[in-house]
Structure 1
Amino acid sequence: MDADGRWQILRLHVEDQVPLAALARHHGLGVRTLERWHARYRAGGLPALSRLPRADAGGHRLPADLIALIEGLGLTRPRPPIAAIHRTVVKVCAGTGWPVPSYGVVRSIITALDPGMVTLALEGPASYRDKYELALRRTADHPNAMWQADHTLLDIVLAGTDGKPARPWLTVVMDDCSRAICGYTVFFGAPSTMHTALALRQAIWPKTDPRWPMCGIPEALYVDHGSDFTSDQLARTAVDLHVRLIHSAVARPQGRGKVERFFGTVNTELLTTLPGHLRSGGERWPTPALSLADLDAAVGAFVLDYNGRAHSELGVAPRSAWIADGWLPRLPDTLQALDGLLLTVARSRTVRRDGIHFQGMRYVSPTLAGFVGRPVVIRYDPRDITEIRVFDHDRFLCTAVDQDHHAQQISLKDVQTARNARRRALRRAINERIAVVAAHSPEVPTRPLPPRTQGSARLKVYKEDLR
């Protein structure tokens, strides 16, 4: 009976002066019990009517060494079943003279162990760190104080450049303070320094869409230990842009939790609405229906919507949080200077009389008239190769354009796809003609090979030895 139940009985005596003997007869209790309750109530009030815990509650009347033995067996990796632990304890007690505990006592001792201790002993320090260690959630003080960049393999199947199904990657650059997405890129193949540079280029340079105002050079860039993030090219670029490069702890994705959470949002809110989405537990890949350009457009629209809607933790839209009270971001002098630092796709070409030839296209510019016959370095954006930037000894010369496709936006993937399609078409035509030739050509009889004799092998000698 709890304190409230005891008070409901005792209050008749305290408030209405009903004798304790009458209450004892009515409720089937002893008079001494009611007197003891009354004395405790007068001494400590209603809380004193609660049942007092036992002084040895939670303990066991077993030797300390025996309890330590049971706990040690419960922390053994791999942990044996409790029944096996009990049998081991019984054997030890038979040899030491200790009292033999029951199975229930052994089980209660093991289940009472600290969960953190059990996790550290059985699952290792990594699992203990992820479950029980204190985590410090930091947030940048102002926009562009710190950016986070990371890659993820998307749960969607697209039509690859070779026509086969392929899963794309997504690289995202996020502002740590406002949670705004400053830049992104989608691509096939493994992440590389080039893909990181393209995402940073889009994040740093001002966009043409007024709904996407995020731009500028961050004070710090927080990345993991991927080969593209630890490359010398990115380190040199960070020095030139005066950006502090911070690498997270190895195998600790918690430090990049904000950008990882955005990846989860993309997978659950965007990719589930697109054809080709890979559902969990699916045995076969669906038939791809989208191209990389289609996914790029879908991700771009989703980023604009994400930046414009209220964030659950901030309470305001990331775009509004990034703009704040108005401020001027730090920008590079020109886009050409930024490309010279970020775009690592550099090729050496010789200026011809009709321009620069690259990827089957011809790029011209009046500035190239004084460089005919001289080697130059070109840099280009793989997402749009209708124009290239020409450098001479690290000095920007001009932007050369392909006059045949200047009004279009052609990516390097589009060119490679067209090449592969043309090559496959030519191969099919060749195979068809070879099949026609084979069908009308007379069969050439093959002369059977003479049977191989099983005689002993002759010893090869020099010609002079036969004289």
Structure 2
Amino acid sequence: MAAVELTPAQRTEAMRRYRMLEPHLTGGVPLTQVAREAGIGERTARRWLAHYRAHGLSGLARTPRRTGRTTHPELVQLIEGLALTRPPPSIAAIHRRVSTVADHQKWPVPSYSTVYAIVRGLDPELLTLAHDGTAGWRDRYELVYRRTADAPNRMWQIDHTLLDVLVLDPAGTPVRPWLTVVLDDHSRAVPGYSITLGAPSTLGTSLALRQAIWTKADPSWPMCGIPEILYADHGSDFISDHLRQVAADLKITLIHSTVARPQGRGKIERFFGTLTGELLPELPGHLDHGRPVTEPALSVTDLDYRMRGFIIEQYHQRPHRETGESPHRRWLADGWLPQLPENIEALDLLLVQVATGRIVHRDGIHFQGLRYLDPVLAAYVREPVTIRYDPRDITAIRVFHHDRYLCTAISPEHSGRTISLKDIDTARRAHRRRLRSQIHERIQLVTDYLPTPAAPPAAEPAPPRRRSTLRTYRED
């Protein structure tokens, strides 16, 4: 068979046969072993090999059978058009419809096998685009550019996932926690993460980045530093002004993936899959298809401890399937110094602490029902200031005047305690419940001791007024 232009179906078949012969052609594997592993006869394999050496790839294409009957060209186009409709009809349905048309047009009626061969001869890429749309075609055939960093801390990815495990919140209620992970693109190491009970938020993202950037107390977890690029999707916390400001201050280039295009986030999704398949099934409260396999028993702190142990002791130490090196070894490389912020206070000021405006009163600064004092504030009574606070601990606030740091004001009533914003909100709700209970008690007394006034007799319904069609205005 001479070298000819192959149809898409012939090209697919030729490539399939070539892949069967490839171990013999490129690796020197005996042809008998290749035939046995491919599930074909040795004579067939030798015939394919002879055709390939004589005619190249076209020699492996299936030669179409020649029959005495030919299908009318317009009927072929009709069969192909029906096969490309959505939803795709069965071969039997196509055969019935084209047989009716052929009989009406006095054309030779095609057999079922002919219709089947025509449909099978269509380009698979064309069928995918017609039946699955642009998204399905893109996921299977579109050329993908895999962005890969060539050094540690060159690019980090960040994303959230809802874990398939139940933990107990402070009230003892089982809830599903959210995990935010920062992943180094080059080494696949995890510099930082955070576990929260609420939906993904700017605070959870900031806590994960804080842990990722700053040095850890554990020497077996050396990953730290400021990345050059932070790659994220279009979550509300990833496109927030807060994260943009952090990226600008730390000289980080913030890049967002294309909307509805998950291909660029495959590395961090693979890490989530590793957690789901290896760590979570070993934990109490693991969920299988939404149902708990065992009773939940872990708190968020317990889950954080187990998560950290898995990342440091197992995930970081074993060779990665794609890189061939362990994330720990690949991140260390040949020795290098990551870029770090000046101090942890400066990092907290950027990432964790939230800014808001207040007025300095004679008795201090009022915020969230607390009062904050510092001797420096005596010179700024009735002046507007900016305060920054950590939502996890609001017993102290940092005060700025025209972007100049003044002091750290303390709440005198709680100077020896750590109070979070959640504690304040819980106390507010409890206070409102107490007030509502008192209101209910007093209203109940009124109902018990005072007779309910008799309802006035029902008045005769007034005849409906005819609405004027004349538009009037208040100024008239």
TM-score normalised by structure 2 residue count? 0.72
Query: Which residue number in structure 2 is paired with residue 93 of structure 1?
Result: 102
AA aligned to 1:450 is P
In the other structure, the counterpart of 1:228 is 237
The question of whether the paired residues in 2 share the 8 Å contact of 1:150 and 1:259 is answered with yes
1:141-194 per-residue CA deviation (whole Å, 9 max, x = no partner) reads 111100111222333445668987654432222111111222222335443444
- Tell which deviates more after alignment, 449-458 or 101-110: 449-458
Aligned partners of 1:194, 1:73: CA distance in 2, in Å?
54
Give the Cα–Cα distance (whole angstroms) in 1 for the partners of residues 455 and 87 of structure 2: 67
**Match in the other structure for 1:452:** 459
Report which stretch shifted further, 142-151 or 391-400: 391-400
Map of 1:141 onto structure 2: 150
Q: Deviations over 1:281-327 (max 9, x none)?
A: 54x99987655555445544444345543143244432332222221
Distance 1:68 1:457 in 2: 68
Aligned residue pairs total 409
Pairs within 5 Å for 1:117-128 = 117-128=126-137
Tell me by how many angstroms 1:344 deviates: 6.4
Inter-CA distance 445–193: structure 2 relative to 1 (3 Å threshold)? closer
Question: Partner letter of residue 207 of structure 1?
Answer: K
* Mapped contact 1:165–1:287 kept (Cα < 8 A): no
Q: CA 1:431–1:112 in 2, change beyond 3 Å: closer, same or farther?
A: farther
**222, 227, 230: which one pairs with 1:213?**
222
1:126 Cα deviation after fit: 0.8
The residue aligned with 1:3 is none
1:149-168 equivalences in 2 (<5 Å): 149-157=158-166, 166-168=175-177
| Distance in 2 separating the partners of 1:365 and 1:311 | 54
How far 1:124 moved relative to its partner? 0.7
Letter in 2 for 1:107: Y
Residue of structure 2 aligned with 1:130, choices 126, 139, 157: 139
User: What do residues 21-66 of structure 1 show as CA deviations (whole Å, max 9, x unaligned)?
Assistant: xxxxxxxxxxxxxxxxxxxx9xx9xx99xxx999843677434443
Where structure 1 has 5 or more consecutive residues not aligned to the other structure, the ranges are 1-40, 460-467
Counterpart residue number, 1:73: 82
Matched, 1:181 2:183: no
Q: Partner of 1:312 in structure 2?
A: 320
1:463 maps to none
* Residue 430 (structure 1) aligned to one of 430, 434, 438: 438
- Distance in 1 separating the partners of 2:419 and 2:218: 20
1:345 Cα deviation from its structure 2 partner: 2.0
Aligned to 1:245: 254
CA distance in 1, matches of 2:396, 2:371: 10
| C-alpha separation in 2, matches of 1:306 and 1:387 | 39
Distance 1:249 1:454, change over 3 A: closer
Structure of larger gyration radius: 1
Letter in 1 for 2:87: P
Q: CA deviation at 1:279?
A: 2.4
Alpha carbon RMSD of aligned pairs, Å?
A: 3.9
State, as a whole percentage, how many aligned pairs show the same letter: 54
Aligned partner of 1:256 in structure 2 is 265
Pick closer, same or farther for the CA change 1:118–1:409 going to 2, 3 Å: farther
Residues 118-152 of structure 1 deviation map (CA, whole Å, 9 limit, x = unaligned): 21110011111112333343321111100111222
What secondary structure, in the 3-state scheme, does the structure 2 residue paired with 1:181 have?
A: coil
User: 3-state DSSP class of the match of 2:389?
Assistant: strand
Report the CA distance shift for 1:59/1:405 in structure 2 as closer, same or farther (over 3 A).
farther
Q: How far did residue 457 of structure 1 move?
A: 8.2
Alignment-mate amino acid for residue 163 of structure 2: L
Q: Distance in 2 between matches of 1:208 and 1:144?
A: 19
8 Å Cα contact 1:194-1:345 kept in structure 2: no
1:203 matched to which residue of 2? 212
Alignment of 1:24-63 (within 5 A): 56-57=63-64, 61-63=70-72
- Is 1:338 matched up with 2:347? yes
Q: Is the counterpart of residue 442 in structure 1 residue 457 in structure 2?
A: no
Q: 1:310 to 1:420 in 2, by over 3 A?
A: farther
Give the 3 Å change call, closer, same or farther, for CA 340–53 of structure 1 in structure 2.
Answer: closer
Counterpart AA for 1:252: R
1:328 Cα offset (Å) = 1.4
With over 3 angstroms needed to count, the CA separation of the structure-2 counterparts of 1:55 and 1:302, relative to structure 1, is closer
